[in-house]
Amino acid sequence: MVSLQYIGHSAFYIKTGDYGILIDPFITGNPKAVFDLKNNKITDIFVTHGHSDHLGDAIPLSKSLNAPICTIFELASYCMSKGAAAQGINMGGKIEYPWGSARFLPAFHSSSTPEGFYAGMPASILFEINGIKIYHAGDTCLHAEMKTAGEVYRPDIALLPIGSHYTMGVNDAINAAQWLNAKHIIPMHYNTFDLINADTDYFKLKIEELGKKCTVLYCGESIKINE
């Protein structure tokens, strides 16, 4: 059984067997985040880029839970300098895990450490778990590499930012859903604060008009994804 929980913003928790995968864990300081840190096992942490609303609690959680962080090389070096266990990867790289694999792909954004220093390129991450491919876009605008990802990797599920201002908004995310060839779309990175408010009803309607499934998750909601 593979379950996907939306924590809030761009943070997700994937549970598969004895493994727990945490992505972009912005929990502390996120008023909307819902996640039970005490009763969910975390074995691996992934971070798409260095901004504080994505790096979030990754470093303290990595240290307290002994869970390695996998992220872009420069950001991994930063995490290690803060005492966390981290593995650095770069674009196109794929890491195998007992639960599947993670491949880092390009996102079009910026990335800096909480102190404002260069943190390498921002990334999207393609997970493959039990044969299900989940594309976490990270923060990004619509970009043509998504067509490549759709053609070459054909993700089943795409987690796409829709809040605009710092990322693509609803209309570009509708194009992204098509370019990625994903059957199931889940929006993220919206409504955490006023600057990134988005109309999820409109987004869902437009995605469904394309013949795709769209699930708008509330913070803390889990779905089974081994379909």
Sites of contact with Zn ion (CB under 5 A)? 51, 139
CB nearer Zn ion, residue 51 or residue 103: 51
We find the least distance from the C-beta atom of residue 166 to Zn ion, in angstroms, to be 6
We find the least distance from the C-beta atom of residue 41 to Zn ion, in angstroms, to be 27
CB nearer Zn ion, residue 16 or residue 111: 111
We find the least distance from the C-beta atom of residue 139 to Zn ion, in angstroms, to be 4
CB nearer Zn ion, residue 15 or residue 51: 51
End-to-end Cα spacing for the chain: 10
We find the least distance from the C-beta atom of residue 212 to Zn ion, in angstroms, to be 26
Amino acid at 69: I
CB nearer Zn ion, residue 88 or residue 161: 161
53: three-class secondary structure by DSSP: helix
Q: Which residues contact 95 (CB under 8 A, 6 or more apart)?
A: 70, 87, 89, 101, 102, 103
Nearest position to Zn ion, beta carbon: 51
The whole-angstrom separation of Cα 201 and Cα 198 is: 9
Cα pseudo-dihedral 143, 145, 148, 153, rounded to 10: -100
We find the least distance from the C-beta atom of residue 33 to Zn ion, in angstroms, to be 16
The whole-angstrom separation of Cα 107 and Cα 90 is: 12
CB nearer Zn ion, residue 100 or residue 138: 138
